[in-house]
Amino acid sequence: MRFVQNPQTAWRVLEGHAFVVPEGGAGVVELDEVGTFIWQLITSECSLDDVVEHICAEFEVEPDRAREDCVAFVRDLGGRGLLVIREDAL
């Protein structure tokens, strides 16, 4: 799985939290500290392995747990139209 920010989104980070406006401008999604860290990583396309590696280097978390949470997070953002996801990519 590889993914990247949907380039049609707009966003800023305020006091450590990213606020992301979906394409079309309706509503705002707020990301927590880890979510913001991931969001800022994926300005260019990343693999799940890339992101998990960065999370484990930055936060105290086991790789399996990081991967599990990251997949759920990516699916959530993808469902909101905030990411472009390529499931088949290596």
Partner 1 sequence: MISCATPAGAAQRMTSTATRANVPLAVLFQITNRCNLDCVHCYQVRDQERELSLDEIARILAELSQAGTLYLSLTGGEPFVRPDLRAIVEQARRLRFVVSIKTNAVLLGEEEMAWLSDLGVVQVDVSVYGPTAAVHDRVTKHPGSFVATLAAIGGLRAAGVNVQMAIPLMRTNIEAFEDLLGLARRLGCRPTFDPQISVKEDCNRGLARLRSHDDAMARFFSHPEVIESYRAEVEHRHEAARTGALLRSHPCGSCHNFCHIDHLGRVRACNALPIIGGSLRERSFTEIWRDSEELATVRRVRVGDLPICRECELITYCTRCQGDAYLEAGDLLAPSPDACRRAALLRAVLDKGGMPDAATLAGLAQAPLPGQRARTHLPVLL
Question: Contact residues for partner 1 (CB under 8 A)?
Answer: 8-15, 17, 19, 21, 23-25, 27-32, 34-35, 38, 61, 65-66, 69-70, 72-73, 76-77, 80
Residues 6+ apart with CB under 8 A from 80: 22, 29
Which residue, 3 or 11, has its beta carbon nearer to partner 1? 11
For the four alpha carbons of 57, 59, 64 and 68, in that order, the dihedral sign comes to negative
Which residue, 21 or 47, has its beta carbon nearer to partner 1? 21
Rounded-to-integer distance, Cα 88 and Cα 25, Å: 29
CB of 88 to partner 1, least distance (A): 24
